[in-house]
Amino acid sequence: MLLRLDHIGIAVQSVNDALGFFETALGMKLDHIALEEGGRTAVAFLPIGDAEVELVEPKDTDSGLAKFLAKRGEGIHHLCFEVDDIHAMLAQLKAHGAQLIDETPRVNASGMQYAFIHPKSAHGALIELYQKPNQP
Amino acid sequence: MLLRLDHIGIAVQSVNDALGFFETALGMKLDHIALEEGGRTAVAFLPIGDAEVELVEPKDTDSGLAKFLAKRGEGIHHLCFEVDDIHAMLAQLKAHGAQLIDETPRVNASGMQYAFIHPKSAHGALIELYQKPNQP
């Protein structure tokens, strides 16, 4: 089951440049900047209510994010829902014929499980699902 | 000031087709479908937590939404923040040199004020700001 909209990822060429708009002009608060995906992505975390905007900058040239930027330019890249049971959700999606980028969840450094649905199945939207580490 | 992330708009060719994924496969709950923008846009409202996914289908061929679909295909179209004072926010953005699609807010049928920031100023993201009718 989907629990909440967790974040929106915006693909940018440079996190620092983009903060000139999102932090300075729009007045969002920067929580922190981190290297994710084993150093392949720089992410600026900008909390808003109980959700977040994430500015994502590729640090490589061959990731999906780098290819998105090369092909479409900067812009909204993905949205992420928190789910209560990511395995059940992936099984439900497969049962309905949805194409998944991750058939089984990936796990990040803090134990969070996440997986992406292919935009082909989601009307062009890249959708991430994630489950908090402390849930079953 | 930004208060919260209100919704994500996803541009689709057909709201009814797209519900096959978002409602049936992903398990979101459809609140209602309405014609907005004077009949130029069909919108399916899918609440999630205190936010919403809006599936938006153009009913014309010359709106920004119709042009987005023709050029880029289906996908995430915009994000919307609730603000406490939309006039102050637009003034703040202009003071920082941001390009606005709406220099002054539009008002919808229920008295809600809203305005769009140009994606050129927001690193490719189309951002809507809205203020509830009952606020100053």
Interface contact flag, B27 A92, Cβ < 8 Å: yes
**What is the pLDDT, as a whole number, of residue B24?**
96
Confidence label for B26 from pLDDT (cuts 50, 70 and 90): very high
Chain A residues lying within 8 Å of B78, measured CB to CB: 76
**What is the pLDDT, as a whole number, of residue B35?**
94
Between CA A120 and CA B17, with CA B20 as vertex, the angle to 5 degrees is 80
Q: How far apart are CA A47 and CA A7, in angstroms?
A: 9
**What is the pLDDT, as a whole number, of residue A109?**
79
Alpha helix segments (H runs only) across A2-117: 15-19, 64-72, 86-95
Find the mean pLDDT for residues A39-67.
96
**Residues forming a β-bridge with A5:** A81
**What is the pLDDT, as a whole number, of residue A111?**
86
* B68 CB-side CA count, 13 A: 22
Give the minimum alpha-carbon distance from B37 to chain A in angstroms, rounded to a whole number: 22
What would the pLDDT profile of B40-63 be if each residue is shown by its tens digit?
999 999 999 999 999 999 999 999
Find the mean pLDDT for residues B27-36.
96
Chain A residues lying within 8 Å of B50, measured CB to CB: 4, 49-50
- For chain A, the domains span 2-131
In angstroms, the Cα distances linking A113 to A125, B34, B37, B78 are 20, 36, 40, 27
Give the ipTM of the model, two decimals please. Answer: 0.94
Interface contact flag, B24 A78, Cβ < 8 Å: no
Q: Which of B109, B107, B56 is nearest to A123 (CA)?
A: B56
> What string of DSSP letters covers B2-55?
EEEEEEEEEE-S-HHHHHIIIIIIT-PPP-EEEEEGGGTEEEEEEEETTEEEEE
The residue of chain A nearest to residue B92, with distances taken between CA atoms, is A25
Give chain A's contact residues with B (Cβ, < 8 Å).
1-5, 8, 10-12, 18, 21-22, 24-28, 48-51, 53, 55, 72-76, 78-79, 81, 89, 92-93, 96-98, 119, 121-127
Q: Which of B24, B65, B23, B26 is nearest to B42 (CA)?
A: B65
Structure tokens at A116: 């992406």
What would the pLDDT profile of B58-93 be if each residue is shown by its tens digit?
999 999 999 999 999 999 999 999 999 999 999 999
**What is the pLDDT, as a whole number, of residue B56?**
98
Q: How far apart are CA B16 and CA A76, in angstroms?
A: 24
Q: What is the 3-state secondary structure (H, E, C) of B49-66?
A: CCEEEEEEEECCCCCHHH
Class of A2-131 in CATH: alpha beta
What would the pLDDT profile of A54-68 be if each residue is shown by its tens digit?
999 999 999 999 999
Interface contact flag, B123 A12, Cβ < 8 Å: yes
